Amino acid sequence: MNYSDTYYTARWWSVLPDSQEKIQCLLCPHKCLMKPGQSGICNVRKNIGGVLYSISYGHPVAMQIDPIEKKPLYHFYPGESIFSIGTFGCNLSCDFCQNWNMSQTGYDNNKLPVYYSPQDIIMSCKQSDLHLIAFTYNEPVVFSEYMTDIAEQACLEGIKTVAVTNGYICPEVLPEVFSRIDAFNIDLKGFSDSFYRKYTGSSFDPVQKTMITLRNMGKHIELTTLLIPGLNDSEEELKKEFEWICTMLGNHTPLHLSAFYPGYKRLHHPSTKRESLFRAKELAMESGLYYVYIGNIHDVDNSTYCPDCHALLVNRQHYQGRLEKEGFCRCGRLIDIINDKL
Ligand code: SF4
Ligand SMILES: [Zn+2]
């Protein structure tokens, strides 16, 4: 079998000297070492005969049209639909994963799903009359080659792209991987290295670096924190997180505080109480954040208001946003929403 006909050769790896085909993936901070036949932690990058292949390239396992508010992105083309794709695999192993059936699964190498080239994805997006594509559902860093190839084509066609990511990527490759992506929702899972190490199988420092780098690259960033009772929701930890966001990324960074529901390896863990979400939102706003939203529960006011005069800017109901104002607010403040139509 000629593997180069079946799988896409990965980028961002090297052969270790004197190692008999042992290779190292350089994409995320795990920097997995793989002997021939072995896969990395993400389950979708594999050493076959001394070459690293990206198994998921061209093989999305989820492809659908969602409201952009479901990513969630509230300040980037509110009210629009976005063509969304995801594959199998993730470089983290969170025991509380809310999408584990995609993230913690690998491909059956004897039966790969239908192949969609980057051009096929662009065509499907255009046929649906959309101008937005999201890399979402699982961690897009693990299919970076596919994501960057689609994003490059998208750029040429005037299509904007979004990555919903955990931000766990090597700083050396980040600019190349993310340069063509327009907007990000970064899953900020907690605010301590001990949390990241104990519950996600990763470390905190690279995620912080990612957020700062993307901000410095001028990208649109929104953050999501899933509040897991007793694990990452102490007032002390939350305040640290909110203050850090204000200082390092700016008060205008939208933050989504999301409710946890039991699942995967935490089937018996209690779900997040409504009052904890509201208390966390209060703390975030006291810390100085302008736009804080509550996700995964019903009957919440998630509209966007002007931080200065409290005018309604985006009326948002059930993950569907409607812009009430564009450009400048009635008080003269520039509205923190990207909505330049093509
Ligand atoms: S992307 Fe996958 S194979 Fe590469 S270092 Fe990260 S977990 Fe390992
Ligand atoms: Zn105003």
The pLDDT of residue 342 is: 42
Q: Whose CA is nearest to atom 3 of ligand 1?
A: 40
Residues 287, 246 contacting (CB under 8 angstroms): yes
pLDDT-based confidence at residue 340 (cuts at 50, 70, 90): confident
Position 157: which residue type?
Answer: E
- The bound ligand whose nearest atom lies closest to the alpha carbon of 173 is 1
- pLDDT tens column, 234-286: 999 999 999 999 999 999 999 999 999 999 999 999 999 999 999 999 999 99
**20 pLDDT higher than 80:** no
| pLDDT level of residue 2 (50, 70, 90 thresholds) | low
Q: Give the Cα separation of 224 and 208 in Å (integer).
A: 14
Partners of residue 165 on adjacent β-strands? 186
Residue 40 CB–ligand 1 contact under 6 Å: yes
Determine which residue's CA is closest to atom 5 belonging to ligand 1: 31
3-class SS at 305? strand
Q: Is the pLDDT of residue 191 over 80?
A: yes
Q: Which of 109-113, 150-154, 281-285, 326-330 has the lowest mean pLDDT?
A: 109-113
Q: Is residue 211 helix, strand or coil? A: helix
Residues with CB under 5 A from ligand 2 (ion): 306, 308-309, 311, 329, 331, 333
Sheet holding 81-86, edge to edge: 62-67, 81-86, 132-135, 160-165, 183-187, 220-227, 255-259, 292-295
pLDDT in tens, 145-169: 999 999 999 999 999 999 999 999 9
Per-residue pLDDT, averaged over 128-132, amounts to: 98
Ligand that lies nearest to the alpha carbon of residue 307, given by its number in the listed order = 2
CA distances from 164 to 34, 76, 108, 134, 328 (A): 27, 13, 25, 7, 28
- DSSP element (H, E) containing 315: strand 312-317
Binned at pLDDT 50, 70 and 90, residue 6 comes out as confident
Q: What is the pTM of this model?
A: 0.96
177 lines ligand 1 (CB under 6 A): no
* Domain limits, the chain: 3-54, 62-304
**pLDDT confidence band for 170 (50 / 70 / 90):** very high
pLDDT, mean of residues 78-93: 97
Tell me, which fold does domain 62-304 have in CATH? TIM Barrel (3.20.20)
